Amino acid sequence: MEREAYLYEKLENNEVRCLTCQRRCVVSEGKTGWCYTRRNKGGKLYSLIYGEVSSLSINPIEKKPVFHFYPGSR
């Protein structure tokens, strides 16, 4: 599902700057950003993954601030 992104700014010549991450990609008309999850359409930035999981990671609970909760569990 495509939806207009929240974090971007419009630039000249229908270009936009994505502000989602620290890369601050400048995305030209019809192109996608470095992450391939944002596309410039008509000078507006659209999210190509709206409502989908964008990353998943299983880490030991000891890395979290709640490491005393269940030691050794995931």
Cβ-Cβ contacts under 8 Å for 63 (sequence gap 6 or more)? none
Percent over 90 (pLDDT), the chain:
64
More confident site: 52 or 55: 52
Using the predicted structure, report yes or no on whether residue 43 has a pLDDT greater than 80: yes
pLDDT tens-place string over residues 2-15: 899 999 999 999 99
Using the predicted structure, report yes or no on whether residue 30 has a pLDDT greater than 90: yes
Percent over 70 (pLDDT), the chain:
80
- Joined together, the tokens standing for residue 43 give 């000078």
Q: Are 14 and 29 in contact (CB under 8 A)?
A: yes
| Confidence (pLDDT) at 2 | 87
